[in-house]
Amino acid sequence: MAADQKGDHERVPLTINGQAIDAKVGVTLVEAAWDARLPGITGVGCLEGVCGSCRVMLRRGKEITLGLACQTFVETGLEVIFLPPSSAPRHHYSISDFRDSWDIHARFHAIFPEASRCRHCHGCVTSCPKKIAVEDGVALAAAGRYREAGEVFLECVMCELCDGACPELIAPAHVGLFCRRVTAHFHLRPPNLVTRLEELRRKRLAGSKGESERE
Amino acid sequence: MTVGGVPLAAALAEYRPDAEIGPLPTPVDSDALLSTYHPDYLRGSVVTLAVGANAGGSCQRDLAELLQAEAFIDEADLAGIPVTDVDVLVVGGGGAGCAAALTAAEAGARVLLATKLRLGDSNTVMAEGGIQAAIEPEDSIQKHIQDTLRGGHHAGDPELVARMAEDGPDVLRWLIDLGMQFELTPNGDLRTRRGGGTSASRLVFCRDYTGLEMMRVLRESVTLHHNIEVWEQSPAVELLSNECGLACVGAVLASLVDGGLRIVRTRSVVLATGGLGRLHLNGFATSNHLGATGDGLVLAYRIGARLCELDSFQYHPTGLVFPSHLAGKLVTEGVRAAGALLLNGLGSRFVDELQPRDVVCAAILRECQEGRGIHIDDRRVGVWLDTPRLEQAEPGLLERQFPNLMSRTRGSGVDPRVQPLLVHPTLHYQNGGVVIDLDGASSVPGLFAVGEVAGGIHGRNRIMGNALLEIISFGRRAGRAATTTHDRGPKKVTVEHLNHMRRALTLAGLPMTRRTPMILPAYARGTPCTR
């Protein structure tokens, strides 16, 4: 739909989910799949690379890479497989259970026991469509440097391609998210917000007192 | 759309980030501007509804076709479908749905969250600008209420607006407790900036990834919550009513994977299905995600819920025209809040960039229609968003504050630091929706609506940062209230409301050839998605 009109004559041959199609020049893999009426392309969301749903495996000759279909353009001979959604998470925690920030290091390693076993294969780094230094982020997390680790994962769109790529089943995307969450949960106490909350609490108290006096 | 003006190549050659810019022309009356150029006022785009709770009221034409249509489900279909019982069913997996699900689950309810695509695929995840909350010393809840009502042309419900504004600071606290990060000043305050149409610095944000940061925290919280079950790829195709067709007691879900149907019986249903940008109203491109097809409005209307402001939509002023694969996608208002100017094909400013969105949108459409736009071809025209000037005034600002914008345009041959962005208004938000009370309850017992599918807060124009606030504020309110309905009455679930609707459609002489909700836009359907 967003394709240029001039591209109507030129076609790019490629395969998507095993089906050979001819796509317009300059369209994304999602647009190509739609134009070809391919069935079962439901793992598509935002179309601008932030929801992480349209995960694809790409093959160019012998080279195999991963990516997001809405951000990848058609190429001659490209073989594309839309990947199924990732499986259910194997880690479990509830942030409201974290009362004491002093034991967070122990908590982290209990929730993500694999995080300290990184074998530096770079699988997570090469699979990341946002070019995040995933491996460094995991190392920082394992060393207890949660704020810095979380910062590494700022642009993470939770496509979970790194989770699938990790031979040690570390679930790097979720490690990164954990680091960001505990940083906010324990350290964000902004004075302007705290002050306004307290003002509103007093006003409510005064209000309810006023009401009961009137009664 | 009429096209004329300066060709792109000529405009680019002419462009200098340090060119002298004349003074802003004296502003014209904004009501006149709106009624002449805003798409809501396009002749022939609005019709009168013939059936349903809003019969006699006006409604955008494409939407009216969906509201007054045949359903997918018949009574006979209900026999033999597997049944699931839960306390609360949440339909929709964006920010509002997650907030409602989490709150209901915390109150002890067994919650099923069903979503058409993947959990988190929503407009929430794309929100960039920020979330409004009156937290600065010189700001107040009262000012926030006034700005919201004024921005909405005083069509909003003051009670709903007041509750939302009051909830603001506590919403931030709730989000921080869940683990959401925000930008801070060097001394640890939450950093704020001013959005269009506001009287104080009130937008709290996380770079230009505010929605992404919010959504991944909500998504993880929902996924890991033991009281919440999530069904993805499971759009709701119909609501279920009691024997009189007057209360909502569940829903029929379809599977996008195998086409199978499922009945869910519950005490209450929370609709959090979002907006309808993918209907491409009046032929506009949209900033919305793929699933934004107005399903919730259709389902709610058929079961008898009252809707409001069905002829009022927000066209975001700065949708990208180029690169093509991002056509209609947003450049956040934050860029204008940071100081970027809008320039027409003659290199002149033509509107105060921080006016409310509908005014800026109408002004851009005026420039384009009167031949002062910049055009690529017959269909694509826009004006400059002058990002290089901003970068020149403060080198590194774009990369630092708007990494999302930079990362999306990288690899497309357009660098916002050296080349201004070609922008045109894009269909962005449904201002109205299901009429709700302070608990997010609709006029149908057992049916709640939160987020973009609900109406009444933003009047006829939403100001920036109120959407992210609304979804959490009312998501939590509805989540709490949904758990207090204990008795769903008689055990029988029916589609009696459809009989009412079909009778009314027949009496009104309306065709019943089209089946709705739409579920996916036609261009993305591949194969028929339900049956």
| pLDDT, tens digit (0-9, with 9 covering 90-100), for B261-298 | 999 999 999 999 999 999 999 999 999 999 999 999 99
The per-residue pLDDT for B65 is 96
Check: CB of residue B340 under 8 Å from CB of residue B387: yes
A103: helix, strand or coil: helix
Based on the domain organization, do B225 and B103 belong to the same domain?
A: yes
Based on the domain organization, do B270 and B399 belong to the same domain?
A: no
Mean pLDDT over A122-149 rounds to: 96
The string of pLDDT tens digits covering residues B91-123 is 999 999 999 999 999 999 999 999 999 999 999
Res. B504: pLDDT tops 70: yes
Based on the domain organization, do B363 and B285 belong to the same domain?
A: no
Rounded (5°) CA angle A84-A129-A105 = 90
Measured between alpha carbons, how far apart are the two ends of chain A, in Å?
A: 65
Q: Do B189 and A184 touch (CB under 8 A)?
A: no
Check: CB of residue B495 under 8 Å from CB of residue B73: yes
* Residue B428: active-site member: no
Res. B395: pLDDT tops 80: yes
Helix H or strand E segment including B481: helix B466-482
The per-residue pLDDT for A2 is 40
Mean pLDDT over B378-388 rounds to: 93
Please report, rounded to a whole number, the percentage of residues in chain A having pLDDT higher than 90.
80
Based on the domain organization, do B257 and B368 belong to the same domain?
A: no
Res. B203: pLDDT tops 80: yes
Mean pLDDT over A32-61 rounds to: 92
**Average pLDDT, rounded, for chain A:** 91
The string of pLDDT tens digits covering residues A155-198 is 999 999 999 999 999 999 999 999 999 999 999 999 999 999 99
Based on the domain organization, do B241 and B283 belong to the same domain?
A: yes
List the structure tokens of A45.
């969301």
Mean pLDDT over B220-231 rounds to: 96
Q: Which residue of B has its CA nearest to A42?
A: B117
Q: Which residue of A has its CA nearest to B106?
A: A96
User: Hey, of B204, B207, B212, which one would you mutate to test binding to chain A, going by the most A CBs within 10 A of its CB?
Assistant: B212
Nearest to A188 among B182, B220, B325 (CB): B182
Res. B489: pLDDT tops 90: no
Res. A211: pLDDT tops 80: no
Dihedral of CA atoms A132, A135, A136, A141 in degrees, nearest 10, equals 110
For residue B381, the domain's CATH number is 3.90.700.10
The string of pLDDT tens digits covering residues B61-92 is 999 999 999 999 999 999 999 999 999 999 99
Based on the domain organization, do B20 and B80 belong to the same domain?
A: no
Q: Do B325 and A31 touch (CB under 8 A)?
A: yes
Identify the domain containing residue B145 by its residue range: 75-312+431-482
- Helical pair B158-178 and B210-223, crossing angle rounded to 10 deg: 70
Domain boundary at B427, B451, B468, which?
B427
Rounded (5°) CA angle B19-B25-B27 = 140
Res. A212: pLDDT tops 80: no
Tell me, yes or no, whether B62 lies in a domain. Answer: no
CA distance A14 to chain B (A): 18
Based on the domain organization, do B102 and B163 belong to the same domain?
A: yes
Tell me, yes or no, whether B444 lies in a domain. Answer: yes
Asked if omega into B517 is within 30° of 0 (cis), the reply is: yes
The string of pLDDT tens digits covering residues B398-449 is 999 898 889 888 877 789 999 999 999 999 999 999 999 999 999 999 999 9
Based on the domain organization, do B323 and B360 belong to the same domain?
A: yes
Check: CB of residue B432 under 8 Å from CB of residue B312: yes
Q: Give A6's pLDDT tier (boundaries 50, 70, 90).
A: very low
Q: Do A42 and B257 touch (CB under 8 A)?
A: yes
The per-residue pLDDT for B365 is 95
Tell me, yes or no, whether B423 lies in a domain. Answer: yes
> Any chain B CB within 8 A of the CB of A154?
yes
Chain B residue numbers with beta carbons less than 8 Å from the beta carbon of A88 are: 223
Instruction: Please classify residue A139 by burial: count the beta carbons closer than 10 Å to its beta carbon, then call 0-12 exposed, 13-18 middle and 19+ buried.
Output: middle
Count of structural domains, chain B:
2
B236: helix, strand or coil: strand
Tell me, yes or no, whether B70 lies in a domain. Answer: no
Q: Give B162's pLDDT tier (boundaries 50, 70, 90).
A: very high
Write the ipTM. 0.93
CA distance A68 to chain B (A): 12
For residue B451, the domain's CATH number is 3.50.50.60
Measured between alpha carbons, how far apart are the two ends of chain B, in Å?
A: 37
**How far is residue B351 from each of residues B22, B228, B361, B419, measured CA to CA in Å?**
12, 48, 10, 21
Domains of chain A: 5-82 (3.10.20.30), 95-187 (1.10.1060.10)
- Kindly report the backbone phi and psi dihedral angles of residue B373, in degrees, each rounded to the nearest multiple of 5, phi listed first: -85, 180
Tell me, yes or no, whether B271 lies in a domain. Answer: yes
Q: Do B181 and A195 touch (CB under 8 A)?
A: no
Task: Specify the DSSP class assigned to residue B282.
Answer: G
Tell me, yes or no, whether B44 lies in a domain. Answer: no
Res. A5: pLDDT tops 50: no
Mean pLDDT over A141-155 rounds to: 97
- Kindly report the backbone phi and psi dihedral angles of residue B251, in degrees, each rounded to the nearest multiple of 5, phi listed first: -155, 160
The per-residue pLDDT for B526 is 76
Based on the domain organization, do B340 and B453 belong to the same domain?
A: no
Based on the domain organization, do B341 and B470 belong to the same domain?
A: no
Based on the domain organization, do B264 and B344 belong to the same domain?
A: no
Q: Do B172 and A150 touch (CB under 8 A)?
A: no
Check: CB of residue A165 under 8 Å from CB of residue A124: yes
Q: Where are the beta strands (DSSP E) in B148-296?
A: 192-193, 203-204, 228-231, 236-241, 248-254, 261-265, 268-271
Check: CB of residue A23 under 8 Å from CB of residue A2: no
Res. B154: pLDDT tops 90: yes
Please report, rounded to a whole number, the percentage of residues in chain B having pLDDT higher than 90.
80
Tell me, yes or no, whether B457 lies in a domain. Answer: yes
DSSP labels, B370-422:
TT-SEESSSS-EEEEEEHHHHHHHSTTHHHHH-HHHHHHHTTTT--TTTSPEE
Rounded (5°) CA angle A122-A126-A129 = 140
Tell me, yes or no, whether B492 lies in a domain. Answer: no
List the structure tokens of B235.
């759009």
Based on the domain organization, do B141 and B266 belong to the same domain?
A: yes
